[in-house]
Amino acid sequence: MAILTPIAYGTLAFFMAGPRPDDGLRVVLGAGLLGAWSTTLYGAAEALFMQRFSGTLEFLIGAPRSLVAPVVGFSAATVTLGLYSLIASGAWCALFFHVNVRVDEPILLVVTLLASFVGLTAIGMLLAALYVVLRQAIEVTNVLEFPIWIACGVLAPATTLWSPVQWVGKLLPLGWSTQALDRVFASQDPIPDLCVALTLALLYSIVAVWLLRIVDLRARVKGTLRLR
């Protein structure tokens, strides 16, 4: 999924939009972020749910350490699979569409991508805490995948969307980091958007830690983790 999904959507974007040489790299990076979002949903967000379903979450809860540490670890590890998406989509588009991979502001571009990964990690932590108490986690995942990356403007500019849909992207760190990415390619200042993205990521992380502690306490006191 981390490799095939961004390649497929990146290819469709090239065929449908016919990007100019100066925006081909933006399509490549957008396809990579799309793959990172997919791995966040199906990897980080569902990790605790799948452990609960298989009956191994009790062992994780029973350990003396907090539930927060392992969730942060597997969320960050899953999001880094987005690097495979970036590499795969970049190699594919460079080989078949002759995309120029040069960029005028490489440092700002790297910082923007790192901010995107930080935001995705925070979202993965929050969803992991929510999914562990939901029996319909798989259905929620299927509903969230496409609308979120569309609302955040990952492949197509969010400014072309209906304005209420644009506000959905503004509530997420990914929406602001993709906006910062657009500013980098437009030779504009992305710092304000990056600050908002990192602030939202911090807020999501705080809420995620709070929810994880509630889940931990509920499991230890009431023993209500078993799904079947």
Instruction: Encode pLDDT of 103-115 as tens digits.
Output: 778 899 899 999 9
- Please, are residues 190 and 180 in contact by the beta-carbon 8 Å criterion? yes
Helix 106-131 and helix 68-79, axial crossing angle in degrees, nearest 10: 130
- Please, are residues 119 and 197 in contact by the beta-carbon 8 Å criterion? yes
Q: Where are the domains of the chain?
A: 4-222
Instruction: State the pLDDT confidence band at 119, using cuts at 50, 70 and 90.
Output: very high
Q: Which residues contact 181 (CB under 8 A, 6 or more apart)?
A: 26, 29, 30, 109, 112, 113, 116, 190
Residue 121, helix vs strand vs coil: helix
Instruction: State the pLDDT confidence band at 57, using cuts at 50, 70 and 90.
Output: confident
- The pTM (predicted TM-score) of the whole model is 0.85
Both tokens of 3, joined, read: 């490799």
Which pLDDT belongs to residue 227? 45
Choose among 194, 87, 134, 109: nearest CA to 143.
134
Which pLDDT belongs to residue 185? 83
Choose among 82, 84, 134, 111: nearest CA to 197.
111
Q: Which residue has the higher pLDDT, 90 or 228?
A: 90
Q: Which residues contact 147 (CB under 8 A, 6 or more apart)?
A: 168
Burial class (CB in 10 A: 0-12, 13-18, 19+), 46: buried
Average pLDDT, the chain: 81
Query: Residue 2 and residue 40: Cα distance in Å, rounded?
Result: 10
Distance in angstroms between the alpha carbons of the first and the last residue of the chain: 28
C-alpha to C-alpha distances, 224 to 50, 69, 194, 219, nearest whole angstrom: 15, 21, 40, 6
Instruction: State the pLDDT confidence band at 203, using cuts at 50, 70 and 90.
Output: very high
